[in-house]
């Protein structure tokens, strides 16, 4: 992507070398070719299916090869050199100058290979072999397992789709940092992992708006609580961020955190101890030209701005692990999100799926746990039945995913599986409902009496039942018939067609009022912010053009901005 200074502002060293841009590329894998030019070109970090890659080929490509030459004026001397990948879908084998340096499985999480001992002065070649097949038992989210897009499945994403860069570190360096802010006490716990023993402690300096507001010497592996001289809360629409500089010997890393707390009290979602109704919109992270990858920072920022302009205070990031730079922009904007995994594509009734899911989801939490914008973990979506075999999901997988999530991060709520089937343990019972207004109203009224009547919330005869958890309607939608953009693949469709602008807006307004007036709902999520290929449920088109008049968009904003019953102060 263009316009960014560092692909991951939460863990940034100076002097990185971005390797985005033109790479050598060809389909297939020939292991005899570990250095040198290939038959074609590709623009990284865009997947081969995207037009921004310069290829735009949407046929199945299960194997491909990348190669890139970079030049070093001199070999590392007393330093270490790492090659970083933001994300490669799905299996990547990485070579440098013909030497194998790393293999990584998983299309959504970062990895790095140390290449200190295999580089040389002058030209050096990176070769990456990629294997990817959405028809296999792998997490692939909304990527199509058929030749073309269909239903709610879209264009595939093959290969490198996030930034690639070189990074130098001292011999002994900082490996990771974990922040645990305490909004009530005005403190932050800092835990560091380092590679080295020469230095007993790292210096952690915390700043706000250019002023130093906290400092401590922190030992690796021993979390330290740092008192903040100024207390600035991260709130909706106000992404007040503390800057952090960490020095360990000769190493220096820049980071940040937000001072906020999230959790539930009864049915209420609390942000910094205050009840906040989550007015979310579904965001699938697809772009017409880049597919999974935005063209630049402006394209990422635009989706947040379009959402907030309609009165939404956050998004459910759906069936994709979003680029960390997008999360950074959410952090800055005070924009709440649910962090979700690309759980569709796995055969979750199999043991193989359990191992794959738990390992890759652990990497997601490790990458994203410091982002204040993430207020809920949502590892799975609609874990009902296998689309191909009809087999019901294994409840043990859902239980294991929830338990792992809470063990790795107990500071946030976790919904075990959005939309059901829920398991025995979840911090939130949420449900999806695409019924017309009258039927939705009937279900909401039953919900108020403690009768959860939404479809597929629990698997009949399995045992789990509603036990008083907080409630969230995490998908609902209507569609206007008025605009119908041409689609390369599939037939345009929507969940519930409303014939004209006035009818759509009136329906949206009364639905929003119904949901906001419920004293039991902690939030809703409208499906969706913008159309994606043939799925036309968006409030904007796939090209991010407003579907309604300026007055109509303002009516949506006002409907979302109505005060919720659950936000009312107790008398």
Question: Which candidate, 107, 111, 160, places its Cα nearest to that of 138?
Answer: 107
Q: Is the dihedral of CA 328, 333, 339, 344 positive or negative?
A: negative
Task: Point out the least confidently predicted range of 44-48, 277-281, 477-481.
Answer: 477-481
Domain at 21-162: CATH code? 2.60.120.260
Question: Which residues sit opposite 195 in a β-bridge?
Answer: 173
Q: Give the mean pLDDT of 20-37.
A: 87
Confidence of residue 20 (pLDDT cuts 50, 70, 90): very high
Do residues 193 and 218 make contact, with C-beta atoms less than 8 angstroms apart?
A: no
Alpha-carbon gap, residue 261 to 272, rounded angstroms: 5
pLDDT given at position 569: 65
Burial of 4 (C-beta count, 10 Å sphere; 0-12/13-18/19+): middle
Cβ atoms < 10 Å from Cβ of 164: 24
Q: Give the mean pLDDT of 120-134.
A: 96
Domain range list for the chain = 21-162, 173-258, 262-567
The pLDDT mean for the chain works out to 93
| 3 state SS of 108 | coil
Strands (E) in 407-488, as ranges, are 429-432, 471-476, 479-480
Domain at 173-258: CATH code? 2.60.40.10
pLDDT for residue 204 is more than 80: yes
Confidence of residue 414 (pLDDT cuts 50, 70, 90): very high
Alpha-carbon gap, residue 58 to 55, rounded angstroms: 9
Alpha-carbon gap, residue 504 to 538, rounded angstroms: 12
| 3 state SS of 400 | helix
Alpha-carbon gap, residue 163 to 83, rounded angstroms: 11
Strands (E) in 433-503, as ranges, are 471-476, 479-480, 497-498
Alpha-carbon gap, residue 367 to 334, rounded angstroms: 19
**More confident site: 287 or 495:** 287
User: pLDDT above 70 covers what percent of the chain?
Assistant: 95
Task: Point out the least confidently predicted range of 114-128, 185-199, 308-322, 342-356.
Answer: 342-356
pLDDT given at position 530: 97
Question: Which candidate, 179, 338, 195, 170, places its Cα nearest to that of 269?
Answer: 338
Give tens-digit pLDDT for 423-467. Answer: 999 999 999 999 999 999 999 999 999 899 999 999 988 889 999
Confidence of residue 553 (pLDDT cuts 50, 70, 90): very high
What's the pTM? 0.96
User: What angle separates helix 324-333 from helix 297-309, to the nearest 10 degrees?
Assistant: 40
pLDDT given at position 4: 74
pLDDT given at position 480: 45
Question: Which residues sit opposite 282 in a β-bridge?
Answer: 316
Give 239's contacts (C-beta < 8 A, 6+ positions apart): 258, 330, 331, 332, 333, 334, 335, 372, 373
Q: Give the mean pLDDT of 298-312.
A: 98
pLDDT for residue 483 is more than 60: no
Q: Give the mean pLDDT of 137-156.
A: 95
pLDDT given at position 498: 63
Q: Is the dihedral of CA 512, 154, 158, 49 positive or negative?
A: negative
Domain at 262-567: CATH code? 3.20.20.80
pLDDT given at position 197: 87
Alpha-carbon gap, residue 551 to 161, rounded angstroms: 38
pLDDT given at position 199: 85
pLDDT given at position 487: 46
């Amino acid at each position: 992507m263009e316009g960014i200074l560092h692909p991951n502002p939460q863990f940034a060293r100076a002097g990185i070398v971005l390797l985005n841009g033109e790479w050598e590329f060809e389909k297939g894998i020939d292991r005899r070719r570990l250095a040198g030019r290939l038959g074609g070109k590709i623009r990284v970090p865009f997947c081969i299916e995207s037009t921004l890659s310069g290829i735009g080929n949407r046929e199945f490509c299960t194997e491909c090869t990348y190669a890139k030459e970079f030049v070093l004026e001199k070999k590392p001397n007393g330093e270490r050199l790492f090659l970083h990948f933001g994300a490669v879908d799905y299996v990547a084998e990485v070579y440098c100058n013909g030497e194998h340096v790393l293999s990584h499985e998983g299309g959504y999480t970062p990895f790095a290979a140390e290449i200190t001992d295999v580089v040389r002065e002058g030209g050096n070649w990176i070769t990456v072999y990629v294997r990817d097949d959405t028809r296999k038992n792998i997490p692939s989210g909304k990527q199509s397992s058929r030749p073309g897009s269909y239903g709610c499945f879209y264009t595939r994403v093959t290969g490198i789709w996030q930034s690639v860069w070189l990074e130098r570190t001292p011999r002994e360096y900082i490996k990771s940092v974990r922040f645990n802010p305490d909004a009530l006490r005005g403190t932050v716990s800092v835990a560091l992992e380092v590679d080295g023993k020469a230095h007993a402690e790292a210096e952690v300096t915390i700043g706000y708006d250019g002023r130093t507001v906290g400092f401590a010497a922190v030992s690796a592996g021993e979390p330290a609580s740092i008192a903040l001289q100024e207390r600035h809360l991260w709130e909706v629409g106000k992404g007040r961020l503390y800057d952090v500089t960490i020095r360990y010997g000769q190493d220096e890393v820049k980071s940040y955190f937000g001072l906020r707390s999230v959790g539930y009290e009864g049915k209420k979602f609390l942000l910094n101890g205050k009840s906040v109704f989550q007015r979310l919109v579904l965001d699938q992270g697809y772009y017409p030209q880049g597919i999974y990858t935005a063209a630049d920072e402006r394209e990422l920022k635009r989706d947040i701005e379009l959402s907030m302009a309609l009165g939404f205070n956050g998004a459910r990031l759906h069936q994709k692990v979003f680029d960390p730079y997008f999360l950074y922009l959410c952090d800055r904007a005070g924009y709440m999100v649910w962090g979700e995994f690309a759980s569709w594509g796995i055969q979750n009734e199999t043991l193989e799926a359990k191992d794959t899911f738990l390992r890759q989801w652990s990497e997601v939490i490790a990458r994203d746990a410091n982002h204040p914008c993430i207020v809920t973990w949502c590892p799975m979506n609609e874990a009902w039945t296998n689309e191909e075999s009809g087999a019901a999901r294994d409840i043990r997988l859902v239980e294991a995913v929830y338990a792992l999530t809470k063990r790795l991060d107990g500071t946030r709520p976790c919904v075990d599986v959005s939309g059901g089937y829920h398991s025995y343990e979840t911090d939130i019972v949420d449900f999806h409902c695409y019924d017309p207004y009258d039927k939705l109203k009937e279900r909401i009224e039953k919900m108020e009496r403690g009768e959860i009547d939404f479809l597929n919330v629990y698997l009949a005869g399995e045992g789990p039942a509603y036990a008083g958890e907080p409630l969230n309607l995490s998908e609902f939608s209507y569609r206007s018939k008025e605009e119908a953009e041409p689609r390369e693949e599939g037939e345009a469709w929507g969940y519930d067609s409303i014939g004209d602008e006035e009818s759509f807006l009136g329906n949206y307004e009364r639905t929003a009022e119904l949901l906001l007036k419920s004293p039991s709902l902690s939030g809703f999520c409208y499906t969706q912010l913008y159309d994606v290929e043939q799925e036309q449920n968006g409030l904007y088109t796939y090209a991010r053009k407003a579907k309604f008049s300026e007055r109509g968009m303002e009516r949506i904003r006002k409907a979302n901005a109505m005060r919720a019953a659950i936000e009312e102060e107790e008398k």
